[in-house]
Amino acid sequence: MSETKARPATSIEKAQKARRRFLQSVGLTAGVVGLSLLGYIPVVDARPPRLRPPGALNESDFLSSCIKCGQCVQVCPVQAIKLADIGDGFGLGVPYIDARAQACDFSCDAVQCILACPTGSLTYKKPDFLNIRDGAPLAAAPILKAKENDPEPTLNLKERIGVARLARPESCLAVQGKGFKGPARGAAFTGELRYMAVDRWKPVPVREHPYDLELCDLCVRECPVKGAIELRPVKGADGVERMTPTVLEPCVGCGVCEMMCPPEPAAIVIDPQAVWKA
Amino acid sequence: MSRFTDLFMGMLGAAPKKPEKVSEKVQQIMFLKYEDKDRYIKEKLHAREHHAISHKWRNRRWAVLIATNLLFVFSFWLDIQILEGALTASRFVGFHLIDLNSALQVMLAHKHVIVNLFIGTFTVFLLWVLLGGRSFCSWVCPYHLLAEWTEALHLKLVDKKIVTDHQFHRGTRTVFWILFALLAVVTGYTVFETLSPTGILSRALIYGPGLALAWVFLLLLFEVFWSRRAWCRYVCPIGLTYGAVGTLSPLQIGYHVEHCFHEGDCRKVCLVPHVLDVTVKGRAAEESMGLGPDCTRCGLCVDTCPTGALRFEVKGLSKLL
């Protein structure tokens, strides 16, 4: 008798324990999934978009296809590519370029990051089913100034990653008619750039390559792509003609102009993921 | 149901069951073992006395885990380029290697597979079929090592009755696996990768630390003060993916009932104690049995077993030799 009485007692306790465990497991599931969905915050938040490495798919495709391994980071000769932190939500571990700190200068010639990407997040040729935004494709393969005299002077890149824009003409030295003397971004700047006159294969720190210019044309002079930007006389509101950096269709959005621009903040900037509007 | 299905269901969360049929050989062994109780106790004590506490497999495993992760780090830092990338995807002297779970998440989110992704995934699939699926967890995953260290702290606190281990249902991990797969398909983002401490730690080691490490720290705190090894046991879909791959693996830890005194030291050190259910008296159906796909082949039970009833084995090979 006593045994039959004892049995329901233990089974109730067991059932309670199982119930508690079940509820806690549901809680754990809801908690972790809830946390994972916090990754949406930066997506919903209308922050300025990130500049992605060359050959990147459209942003949403890029985030879904990137496996977050950083092989693109490892091959970049100027270490332009960084991996985003947790503040980027679903973009955690996804590569981006902070052009002001270190732009992509194509000193690798072959767009090594695309070559390194194992998932096709960075690609020479988009698969057919992926959307191509109007104004993203480049009219012609960009010609690298550094390779201009080579038998194959072009860069294997079909779409731009952004477009340069003279955001603060009032601070542009050329617009003001000023020259520039000294290292482009000061003596403490760590960014690097390929100077063909110094070494074709080894980019050197910008601070080790000072300038002495009558009229500042750093954005035009150091732009790695032929015909992407030029100084043009442009009439201002006051009717006076001033030499103004003018961005042209071949601009791929690499960001070298933004990196080299002496004033702080830069007069010319890249609009990441922007397309060409004629 | 076959032992194979039982083990697979056990990995998904089913409770271990008593065997329906125990082989004659095992019945004979058990009979002989318990025939003379005094002798049995004497033998047991004798085995205990002569058991030199060894950390052989643990030390080997830690060495491999640290070396693998350092190879990633130095390939980048010193530019020796042997193993480039991170644990999610890499290149070993040029050959693509891609983590199976990360690959799965990307394929589900992006819905497109390029050749390199397929090659890398297939190579890693073959590698872990040979090396035992979840061996990835204990022999490679950097979070596993951290969690092992904080587990020691948790156990100390449990011992002092400061904390208790809150166990969840093991099936929760299966639910997570399905949910993260669905989330990838539906949202088009690799949602799990945002949380994965494996990826976060691997990238932090190679590319430098970030705020994401705070999340890993919180997980470790949760495991110290609330639930023992919670991430690996109840959440991580990487473990289940590799576990599924390991079902086919010839490398396993084998259990030999003849040498076992059924005391359960092995179950106390195990990350997935349900795989050691066969070591409970009366649960072994065959004379020697593999521990199944959820076993991480960490070797802690091999180290701790005083009688050598648990050993690393390659299926088929022991018969050949």
CA-nearest of A40, A39, A66 to A53 is: A66
A65, A148, A163 from A153: Cα distances, Å:
30, 5, 22
3-class secondary-structure state, position B32 = helix
- Lowest mean per-residue pLDDT among A2-6, A166-170, B237-241: A2-6
Residues of A in contact with B90 (CB under 8 A): 69, 71
Q: Least CB-CB distance to B110: which of A21, A65, A92? A: A65
Give the count of domains, chain B.
2
Q: Are residues B228 and B279 in the same domain?
A: no
**Residue numbers of B between 77 and 136 with CB closer than 8 Å to A:** 84-86, 88-91, 96, 98-99, 102-103, 106, 109-110, 112, 114, 116-117, 120
8 A C-beta contact, residue B216 and residue B150: no
Interchain contact A127–B (C-beta under 8 A): yes
Q: Are residues B261 and B313 in the same domain?
A: yes
Interchain contact A30–B (C-beta under 8 A): no
Q: Which of B229, B244, B259 is the last residue of a domain?
A: B244
Q: Which pLDDT does position A8 carry in this prediction?
A: 55
Q: Are residues B182 and B71 in the same domain?
A: yes
Averaged pLDDT, B283-292: 92
Residues of A in contact with B219 (CB under 8 A): none
Are the beta carbons of A67 and B172 separated by less than 8 Å? no
Q: What are the tens digits of pLDDT across the range A10-34? A: 688 888 988 999 999 999 999 999 9
Are the beta carbons of B112 and A65 separated by less than 8 Å? yes
Q: Which pLDDT does position B320 carry in this prediction?
A: 67
Domain that holds residue B308: 3-50+250-320
Are the beta carbons of A36 and B207 separated by less than 8 Å? no
Q: Which pLDDT does position B33 carry in this prediction?
A: 86
Interchain contact A42–B (C-beta under 8 A): no
CA-nearest of A140, A179, A169, A128 to A267 is: A169
For A205, the enclosing helix (H) or strand (E) is strand A204-205
DSSP state of A47: P
Q: Are residues B135 and B213 in the same domain?
A: yes
Measured in angstroms, the CA of B286 and the nearest CA of chain A are apart by 31
Residues of A in contact with B118 (CB under 8 A): none
Residues of B in contact with A24 (CB under 8 A): 166, 168
Q: How confident is the model at residue A113 (pLDDT cuts 50, 70, 90)?
A: very high
Q: What are the tens digits of pLDDT across the range B119-170? A: 999 999 999 999 999 999 999 999 999 999 999 999 999 999 999 999 999 9
Residues of A in contact with B116 (CB under 8 A): 118-120
Q: Least CB-CB distance to B89: which of A39, A64, A69? A: A69
| Predicted complex ipTM | 0.91
Measured in angstroms, the CA of A115 and the nearest CA of chain B are apart by 11
Are the beta carbons of B234 and A28 separated by less than 8 Å? yes
Residue A1: pLDDT above 70? no
- HSE at residue B70, side-chain half, CA atoms within 13 A, is 6
Q: Which pLDDT does position B36 carry in this prediction?
A: 83
Q: Are residues B87 and B211 in the same domain?
A: yes
Q: What are the tens digits of pLDDT across the range B225-243? A: 999 999 999 999 999 999 9
Q: With pLDDT > 90 as the criterion, what percentage of chain A qualifies?
A: 84
Are the beta carbons of A119 and B109 separated by less than 8 Å? no
Tokens matching residue B118 = 């397929």
Q: Are residues B72 and B217 in the same domain?
A: yes
Q: Which pLDDT does position B321 carry in this prediction?
A: 64
Q: How far apart are CA B135 and CA A75, in angstroms?
A: 30
Q: Which pLDDT does position B317 carry in this prediction?
A: 78
Measured in angstroms, the CA of B309 and the nearest CA of chain A are apart by 32
8 A C-beta contact, residue A159 and residue A57: no
Q: Are residues B189 and B298 in the same domain?
A: no
Angle between helices B142-159 and B197-207 (to 10 degrees): 120
- Lowest mean per-residue pLDDT among A43-47, A81-85, A178-182, B56-60: A43-47
Q: Which pLDDT does position A7 carry in this prediction?
A: 54
Q: Which of B188, B221, B244 is the last residue of a domain?
A: B244
Q: Are residues B274 and B209 in the same domain?
A: no
Q: Which pLDDT does position A4 carry in this prediction?
A: 47
Which range in B18-22, B49-53, B295-299 is most confidently predicted, on average pLDDT? B295-299
Higher-confidence residue: A235 or A98?
A98
The reported pTM is 0.92
Residues of A in contact with B84 (CB under 8 A): 71, 74-75, 116
Q: How confident is the model at residue A41 (pLDDT cuts 50, 70, 90)?
A: confident
Are the beta carbons of A71 and B85 separated by less than 8 Å? yes
Are the beta carbons of A69 and B86 separated by less than 8 Å? yes
Torsion sign (Cα): B68, B72, B73, B77: positive
Query: Dihedrals φ, ψ of A146, to 5°?
Result: -65, -30
Q: Which pLDDT does position B199 carry in this prediction?
A: 97
Tokens matching residue A137 = 């494709």
Number of H helices, E strands in chain A: 7, 10
Q: Which of B219, B244, B269 is the last residue of a domain?
A: B244
